[in-house]
Structure 1
Amino acid sequence: MFLQINIRGIQTCPAKCFLSFSLSWFIAQFSFTLPPFLPSRVCLTFAMLLHYLWLCIFSWSSILSFDLVKSLNACSKTLKREFKNNSLFVKYCIVGWGLPLLIVGLSNVLEISLSTFTLQYGARNICWIGNSDALLLAYILPASTFLFFNMICLAVSLHGLEIAKRNSRNLQKTRKDRQRWLMYLQMFFLCGGCWIFAYVANNVSLLWMHTLNLILNGSQGVFILIMTTRDSKVKRWIRIKMKCLEPDNSNTSQSNSGGGTISTKL
């Protein structure tokens, strides 16, 4: 997030969306470290919060996919004008933060209304959804829907990139769009692949799968950092900052030559 704010800026809509995605991912990952320090009576509320936060990750990933398709639609002038408008990001926020809230709310309404449906938040002192059937309906199904939507958007945007490559004279812009598409593709495979593996690992009693699951899902932030630092702007910013940290050799040489002159005079 620090790199996104200081290098890419948050003045463009895609950068704001990616920052919101990173923010939801950071809060969700950080929240996973808190349950051992929380009293058991708070676990139910905290499990509901985690349910909401992890759905926010998938909803913002779908918004990034949709925004990528929309930004590559060079034929629509209306979308271009809306793309520069801050009201578009407000609409994205309503969907990105509001849709997961709606899913969590409906899940709790179903739990109250139907005796056969129970989420079991905080069951067995685990701050998560305790019922496997409810987990499938209230979390895995919405997350899978988001991921399926992402794949459709990425396929459509790839088709748009190929058309833009043939018709556009600005090859530099097309190359940047392709780099952005590849970064989103890696991010979405990371987001979906890790959770698919986590679901399999939790239903299989194999120690090595549980260990690998902890490593993969615990290192997702590192993977996002690696993908972010592959950007040319990020690399250039890091090089500039590293040069600023290096000692000034010219001043050092001047001071040494000055000292040598003084010693010679003495």
Structure 2
Amino acid sequence: MESIYPRRVPIVGNLTGTGWTVASQESILSLIVVLGSSVSLVGLIFAFITYSLFSDLRTMSGTALMYLLANMFLTQLFYVVGVGGVQEDSLCLCLAFGIHYLRLAVISWLCVMTYDMLITFRNNVNLNPRPEPVNVLVSRFVKYSLFAWGMPSLSVISASVMRAMTSRQIIDNLNPYNCWFFETDIYNVTFVGPALCCFAAIAVSLFRSWLTVRATVGMQVDKKSRLKMHRKRTLQLHLYGKIAVLMFAVNVFGCVARNGSPASDPVAWIAYNVGHSLQGILVALAVTCNCQVLKIYTRSFSRRRRRVSRNGSEVALFDKRDNDISDTTYLHNLTWDPVPLPV
């Protein structure tokens, strides 16, 4: 890989007694980014497939989460390409624009998810939510998409215009930053500003959702329903809160690293690379390894157990709760066997 991490840090002890062996920061960070991003890419693919397979997860917030996972996957992939060192300045600039757009899109979809959670909690004060009309859902999703895709597009257009108006003599080299982070002024105006606005909206939505949960849970008469509603809605609230805190911390380290210098102060730069490489797997574990998703897993597997008959053909086995005639389309369940006694 190219020498994009100029400083050196002591890593392991020298067994010959001459002191500490010094390894290049470039090789250490490159290894962390590549290995962490590889694990994150696998985890994001698994999470996306999980939300694609189960229809119970394809709600409005689940669909927005799928877009967030897809954008985060592309962000991790583009960043790994930049870590290897890009010789062509035009290709490095294209990667910078792509990462700029994708990172803002991830934050925008998280903002959409938290706002939709607030709307859902407000419109459904009972444990079992009422189904909404299709036209209402479509209209809401179109508005969400316009915001989540349109805001990053405007930011990228603004960044390109500002970069074109900047004198060529003062344009920074993007290779030391893994083909990411435009010039400081462009980065602060077109990325930090919109990102802070989105994180402020996310914080407001999370706080208002918490207040709504307290109000709606207190309205339940039955204690069992009250505890169940509190558990389900608090689980979703904590999930979005953990994702928001993780993404905010990673972007704060990136902002500090860009406004400083990796050569003069590598702490924020190291923290950003470690957090950026591991955020994918952490988000994937958070959205797939919670009790709600695991319950859907076990319920789906128990309903689709199969046995192999003597001739090799597969016959579906149903649980006792699935033996109702209205829950199956098998023709042999629509007949009386044995034949009932005549009246």
- The partner residue of 1:2 within 28, 44, 49 is 49
**1:229–1:120 CA distance, 2 compared to 1 (3 A):** same
Match of 1:226, SS state, is helix
Letter in 2 for 1:12: T
For residues 79-103 of structure 1, what are the alpha-carbon distances to aligned partners after superposition, in whole Å with 9 as ceiling and x for unaligned?
9547962332222112111211011
TM-score normalised by structure 1 residue count = 0.78
8 Å Cα contact 1:71-1:80 kept in structure 2: no
Match of 2:286 in 1: 227
* Paired letter, 2:195: A
Amino acid of the structure 2 residue aligned with 1:123? L
Instruction: Judge which range, 60-69 or 117-126, deviates more.
Output: 117-126
Q: Which amino acid aligns with 1:17?
A: A
Whether the 8 Å contact between 1:21 and 1:61 is mirrored in structure 2 is yes
Deviations 1:172-217 (A, max 9, x none): 2332111101100000000101211232245263445433332222
2:39 aligns with none
Q: For 1:50, give the aligned amino acid.
A: I
SS of structure 2 residue aligned to 1:34:
helix
- The worse-fitting range, judged by mean Cα deviation, of 158-167 and 44-53 is 44-53
Judged with a 3 Å threshold, the aligned counterparts in structure 2 of structure 1 residues 153 and 130 are, in CA distance, closer, same or farther, namely same
> Counterpart of 2:151?
99
Partner of 1:160: 212
Q: C-alpha separation between the residues in 2 aligned to 1:138 and 1:118?
A: 21
Give the TM-score of the pair, scaled to structure 2.
0.62
Q: Give the conservation status (yes or no) of the 8 Å contact 2:108–2:198.
A: yes
Distance 1:22 1:121, change over 3 A: farther
Aligned-residue CA RMSD (Å) = 3.4
State the Cα deviation string for residues 54-78 of structure 1 (Å, max 9, x = none): 110111111111111111113799x
Structure 1 CA distance for aligned equivalents of residues 230 and 136 of structure 2? 19
Q: Distance in 2 between matches of 1:17 and 1:8?
A: 14
SS at match of 1:129: coil
**Contact between 1:58 and 1:143, CA under 8 Å: does it hold in 2?**
yes
Larger displacement relative to structure 2 (206-215 or 26-35): 206-215
How many residues align structurally? 243
Structure 1 position 25 matched with structure 2 position 76: no
Is the contact made by 2:96 and 2:182 (CA closer than 8 Å) also made in structure 1? Answer: no
Higher relative contact order (CA 8 A, sep 6+): 2
Please name the residue that 2:11 is paired with.
none
Q: Look up the equivalent residue of 2:285 and give its one-letter code.
A: I
Pick closer, same or farther for the CA change 1:206–1:198 going to 2, 3 Å.
Answer: same
The amino acid of 1:154's aligned partner reads L
Residue segments in structure 1 that go unaligned for 5+ positions in a row: 249-266
Question: Is the Cα–Cα contact under 8 Å of residues 217 and 229 in structure 2 kept in the other structure?
Answer: no
Unaligned runs of 5+ in 2: 1-47, 308-343
Higher alpha-carbon Rg: 2
Which of the numbers 60, 63, 66 marks the counterpart of 1:13? Answer: 60
SS in 1 for 2:80: coil
Tell whether the 8 Å contact from 1:17 to 1:63 is kept in structure 2 after alignment. Answer: yes
Aligned equivalent of 1:256: none
Q: Which residue of 2 aligns with 1:180?
A: 236
Q: How do 1:103-252 and structure 2 match up within 5 A? A: 103-112=155-164, 114-115=165-166, 120=171, 123-124=174-175, 126-169=178-221, 170-171=225-226, 172-202=228-258, 203=260, 205-236=264-295
Summarize deviations over 1:90-148 as a string: whole Å, max 9, x none. 22112111211011112323444x55799958634642233112111111111111101
Greater fraction strand = 2
Report the structure, 1 or 2, having the larger helix content: 1
Letter paired with 2:67: S
Once residues 239 and 12 of structure 1 are traced to their aligned partners in structure 2, the CA distance between those partners, rounded to angstroms, is 19
Q: Which moved more, 1:10-19 or 1:202-211?
A: 202-211
User: Equivalents in 2 of 1:134, 1:85: separation in Å?
Assistant: 37
Q: Please say if residues 12 and 84 of structure 1, whose CA atoms lie closer than 8 Å, have aligned partners that are also in contact.
A: no
Cα contact 2:101–2:152 (8 A) shared by 1: yes
Give, in angstroms, the shift of residue 30 of structure 1.
1.3
What is aligned with 2:21? none
Moved more, 195-204 or 159-168: 195-204
